[in-house]
Amino acid sequence: MVSCIEAQSITLTPFAKRIEFDLNELDLAELNRRFESATPQEILAWAIATIPNLVQMTSFSMGAVTHMLYHELQTKVPVIFLNTLYLFPETLETAEKAKKIYNLCLYTCQAASTREEFIAKYGDKLWEKDVNRFHQLTKVQPMNKALDELSVQGWITGRRRDQSVQRQAMPILERDQDGRIKINPLANWSHKDLWRYTFANSVFYNPLHDQGYSSIGDQPLTTKVQAGEDERAGRWRDSGKTECGIHS
């Protein structure tokens, strides 16, 4: 795992006055009302100023949030990346590129460090036999280890409401099952907003997007998306599954 550096300088906004208090006392309902008209940068600045041990979770699909944190807000929030051992080569190449720029913290399956070791222990194509077990081993357990080791109190995602029907009611701020604050600064952004920011700021992204993949996960479980489909329709196609377990 790459060492993780604590957040440094930030730009405060009217939403981000630095105060000390118990995070359990945060009124998320009121904050969500305030942030409904805020920009992602304002939401992120508030989070950096308010929440200790803050991290970003990324799959290296799109890089807008990381760009905002590092280049606009001038902070070095640790960026957690989960290598499931079954990612696309393009995803790993994107992560390698990001490692030269960002404070990347790499976590992988605790029981195997290579795909060969994973197959030897759990059998080939575990996702076909028990997809929930597969994600528990390759995503949920490594994520929980990262959150625990870094004493995380808040984590940032890149989720948006327009990605799928299941995410339409997603709040900007929420608590995960362990009481940590989960921040979704792009919740109100559209697909067009994301790409407009990406091109305007020359943010690098996973090249699989140029090949018809609009949501990118594990290679065996990700397909291209056709016109008119939800952005995440290519994940777990025809299985009824909509989340890997990290956000459910």
Catalytic-residue membership of 244: yes
Return the higher-pLDDT residue of 136 and 20: 136
> If you average pLDDT over residues 194-223, what whole number do you get?
94
> If you average pLDDT over residues 181-194, what whole number do you get?
95
> If you average pLDDT over residues 75-82, what whole number do you get?
94
Token pair 């006055």: residue: 17
Q: What tokens does 52 get?
A: 């200790």
φ/ψ (deg, to 5) at 129: -90, -40
φ/ψ (deg, to 5) at 222: -125, 130
Contact between 109 and 84 (Cβ < 8 Å): yes
154 residue type, one letter: G
pLDDT score of 166 more than 50: yes
Q: From its phi and psi, is residue 143 left (phi > 0), alpha (psi between -120 and 50) or beta?
A: alpha
Q: Which domains does the chain have, with CATH numbers?
A: 23-221 (3.40.50.620)
Q: What's the pLDDT at 233?
A: 77
Q: How far apart are CA 129 and CA 164, in angstroms?
A: 26
Q: Which residues on neighbouring strands pair with residue 155, listed in sequence order?
A: 55, 182
Contact between 213 and 225 (Cβ < 8 Å): yes
- Active-site option among 4, 105, 109, 244: 244
Helix (H, G, I), strand (E, B) or coil at 209: helix
Contact between 107 and 83 (Cβ < 8 Å): yes
Least confident of 7-21, 23-37, 175-189: 7-21
Model pTM?
0.86
pLDDT band at 167, cuts 50/70/90? Answer: confident
CA–centroid distance for 75 within its chain: 17
Buried b / exposed e over 58-85, threshold 16 CB at 10 Å, is bbbbbbbbbbbbbeebebbbbbbbbbbb
> If you average pLDDT over residues 126-147, what whole number do you get?
94
pLDDT score of 149 more than 90: yes
Sequence-separated (6 or more) residues with CB below 8 Å from residue 141: 109, 110
> If you average pLDDT over residues 142-154, what whole number do you get?
95
Q: What's the pLDDT at 225?
A: 87
pLDDT score of 104 more than 60: yes
Q: How far apart are CA 73 and CA 204, in angstroms?
A: 18
